[in-house]
Structure 1
Amino acid sequence: MSDVEEAITQAHRNEWARVVASLAKRFGDLDIAEESAAEAFAAAVERWPADGVPPNPGAWLTTTANRKAIDRIRRENKRDDKQKEAQMSYDEPPEPLGVIDDERLRLIFTCCHPALAMETRVALTLRLVGGLTVPEIARAFLVQETAMGQRITRAKAKIKAARIPYRVPAAEDLPSRMSGVLAVLFLVFNEGYLATGPDTDPVRQDLTAEAIRLTRLIRALLPEDGEVAGLLALMLLTEARRTARVSQTGELVALDEQDRGAWDTAMIAEGHDLVRERLATRVPPGRYQILAAINAVHTSARDIRDTDWSQVVALYDQLARIDRSPIVALNRAIAVAELDGPDVALAIVDGLGDKLSAYHLFHATRADLLRRQGRSEESRAAYDAAIELAGNTAEVAYLTRRRAQLC
């Protein structure tokens, strides 16, 4: 990748959400915001190789996107008032970076409006705020790319038709939108924790850091919300392991092979404090609090052999009662394998095949369990399926090595 290509890629990661939020605030239209931002990045791809990377790529993109938006409004010739307002600000400098927090928060809450179905809220926000591509979002939901694209298009049309305001809701309205907001932040973090596409870095710290920052912002709004605290704890305990998760050769490092001395002890301490804080309330925990507790068990063990697998399975049992997702069942089976052996776990995993056949980690889990049973040929076939479905280059490298180690 050339220096210019690297600069464009980095600008997309750092500036996409800011540019979209700025345009949405100025023009009040999410369609125009996203399309004009996309045109600005396309212009960068065309012009920066010839003209050089500008001193301030973010300001260049914002200015270009604003001009693209104004041109689009002129062509549509439908919004006279907005055109006059836009023309007045045509030559204004871009807004200072200090307003990014408010803009992103406003855009998150707009997209997570209760008038939209929950999955639609999450998908739309991942696209506009998280900057994730439609294929990345489709993989997060385990659906076809075309179906996800249609879902996002319909969501933007509904926001426009219902004239949903672009603003942070009043304090009393926050709880009705919080579940969608937390789901968005969780999925943005997950895409950074282990990117699903082959054309990005295997681990995207830009996304994990942004998800943590925004979750801290939400916690400041609702300090007593247990699920906000749980999600922050989950992110911190997961992010603490980041530097140990990919080897210097670009291969994913499984939990049992990680150098635990490389984990971030400050993040782990903060995450454990949040988990203990929630336990002390004796309020029944929600999904994110239970996931944080599971990660607290993992990060409390000095060695993989010290992991309290019975506690992990018990926590997954508790989680399964409130979240019947097949992903939860799959993760529980992995813990069951450590407690009761691969035979018991494989029976659970095989029962999930009709729901998770397109999910690479389903096949990767089966491959490992079959390997532990000494069923090498079946394990090899399962590894083949996992490798074919996996997009993350570090995961592919890890699965390929494990397959090669079979007898």
Structure 2
Amino acid sequence: MLLSTYGSRGDVEPLVGLAVQLRALGAEVRVCAPPDEDFAQRLADVGVPMVPVGQSARALTTASPPPSSANLPRRAAELIASQFAAGPAAAEGCDVLVATGAMPAAAGARSVAEKLGIRSVSVTFQQLTLPSPHHPPLARPFPPGVTDNRVLWDLDVQNINALFGEALNVNRASIGLPPVGNVRDYVIGDQPWLATDPTLDPWQETPDLDVVQTGAWILPDERPLPDDLEAFLEAGEPPVYVGFGSMSMRASKDVAQVAIEVVRAQGRRVLASRGWADLALIDDQDDCFVVGEVNQQALFGRVAAVVHHGGAGTTTTAARAGAPQVVVPQLADQPYWAGRVAGLGIGAAHDGPAPTTESLSAALRTALAPETRARARTVADAVRADGATVAAKLLLDTISREGASMSA
């Protein structure tokens, strides 16, 4: 099987979990992902071959100028072309291609599968890309005053076609495939998979789409915490974790200083994650500690709260650990996850991407309240851990059924 993605750590890590479960069930697996060193190392650590595709995701995130409607078509064309270049060789001998990540890359991956005549499955790690009368699309520049979800989804199709349609169809024509009229619906397909936890992200059925919700794809992390981190945790009360992952590149320049000052003002110690921006401590006081790549599954159960950007993976990991959360969303689906955290009563949603001392203090007080921790622990018991296993079995069952049908 080929698992294909393009994006940040949050787009790659779920495929690591799925790949490990597929291998445990006897399947051969390889992963197409951006050529970032940390992605390659992560897959090497679990023994899964990686095929690099496109340019570094970190480089694309930090590129100047930032993504805009003016340069997105060009960047999309590059992503699609990279899939057409690497995909056919990577998918050789595969029965199924799983496509996820940035929409242009997923469109390219599904086109490769179409050309090779193999089945492809479209997967999303949040439901806001799936058309539904129950919610609007991901935030885009829609006309003011338009609130009807059906109208918004129609506008969503037009926007996506304008951004990605030409690039996709030029590449499809180069390998003899017909043009696609609706890029979004082509990528989603007739039966998309939603790899999120039903408690955190409940899907409401819609007659127009047959969605398979598998649960989140999580690989159990058995790595011990570093000795110096253990020593810090043991030296005092549980700290507040502050980390923005790949979004630390977009977070406000002084976010680390604001967060550390706010946490200290409430009498708490601070555990800061470097992330892609290499966030650093603001002084050498011993109530703060900085970490790099670490086992969050083990760590989040030992902190007072988690302050983060609202990625699906971090939100789910904190929820599973029963850790109260403060979500400071930066873009894309992150405001949605912030709303889910607040709605479930397991933390607070910060209003906007740039916290001030006052705004973050208020959010942190909510997260540190005893009733929030109690609610977080209750919700933790409902969050499933078997999504990758469910998905792996579904994929193998599909291959088995189609193989039997072809030989009958």
Q: Select the structure of larger CA radius of gyration.
A: 1
TM-score (norm. length: structure 1): 0.24
Q: Which has the higher helix share?
A: 1
TM-score (norm. length: structure 2): 0.24
